[in-house]
Amino acid sequence: MLKKILVALDRSEMGTEVFEQALTLAKAMPAQLLLLHVLSPEEEGSPYIPMLSNVDYYPGLSAQSLDLYQKQWDKFKDEGVRMLQSFSAQANTVNVTAEFSQLLGNPGNTICKLAAQWNADLIVMGHRGRSGITEFFLGSVSNYVLHHAKCSVFIVNHPPVKKDADAPAVTVTSQA
């Protein structure tokens, strides 16, 4: 029986679907949730890191770039916390115990480490459907977690682009 479910989230529509699937599982078990958002420059919407190669030539410009980047990064972090707070409140409203964490790091590695530290029975996460060259260059967080997690992994696949899609495709994979 599942008692602890780690839910890896981002700010995409997929993140919302992942949360809904995890909440459904937690209500059925019953289990507690740990909602995780990993701050990463790879996430869609992450601020662009300014180039520091011209620091000697244009010191004022570099300072302005860093200030702007810091403001954007702070906004990015705050949006992540608000998302986690909202999902946590939704879970608590339906009597599912939920806590949340936002960490900086490599998403796949961070998810696996936190799952092990928290003794998660299951990781619920999304898969965007990257393949081929895109997956080769950008990697696949879900693939990494699937092969490195010490617990079962529930992957919610990106739904096919259809106007009539009632429910997303779901893949359940278990590792002993």
Most trustworthy range by pLDDT among 48-52, 57-61, 85-89: 85-89
The whole-number pLDDT of residue 58 equals 54
Range list of H helices, the chain: 13-28, 59-93, 107-118, 132-138, 141-148
Average confidence (pLDDT) over 96-118:
97
Contact 59/108 with Cβ under 8 angstroms? no
- Residue 74's pLDDT band, with cuts at 50, 70 and 90, is very high
pLDDT exceeds 80 at position 54 = no
Give the pLDDT of residue 122: 98
Residue 138 has pLDDT above 50, yes or no: no
Range from 6-10, 48-52, 57-61, 64-68 carrying the lowest mean pLDDT: 57-61
Instruction: Return the domain boundaries, the chain.
Output: 4-43+83-173
How far is C-alpha 70 from the geometric centre of its chain's CA atoms? 22
How many beta carbons lie within 10 A of that of residue 23, not counting itself? Answer: 21
4 Cβ contact list (under 8 Å, min separation 6): 31, 32, 34, 118, 119, 120, 121, 122
Q: How confident is the model at residue 137 (pLDDT cuts 50, 70, 90)?
A: very low
d(CA 169, CA 14): 12
The string of pLDDT tens digits covering residues 27-38 is 999 999 999 999
Instruction: For the full predicted model, state whether its pTM sits above 0.95.
Output: no
pLDDT at 132: 52
Within 8 A by CB and 6+ apart from 87, the residues are: 7, 9, 19, 35, 98, 100
- For residue 65, the model assigns a pLDDT of 77
- Phi/psi at 37 (5° precision): -120, 125
pLDDT value of residue 47: 83
**3-state class of 37 per DSSP?**
strand
The domain 4-43+83-173 having CATH identifier 3.40.50.620: the answer here is yes
Contact between residue 134 and residue 147 where contact means Cβ atoms under 8 Å apart: no
Question: 34, 112 in Cβ contact below 8 A?
Answer: no
Q: How high is the pLDDT of residue 69?
A: 84
Write the Ramachandran bin of 48: left for phi over 0, alpha for psi from -120 to 50, otherwise beta: beta
Average of pLDDT values for 73-94?
A: 96
Mean pLDDT of the 149-165 span: 77
d(CA 83, CA 11): 7
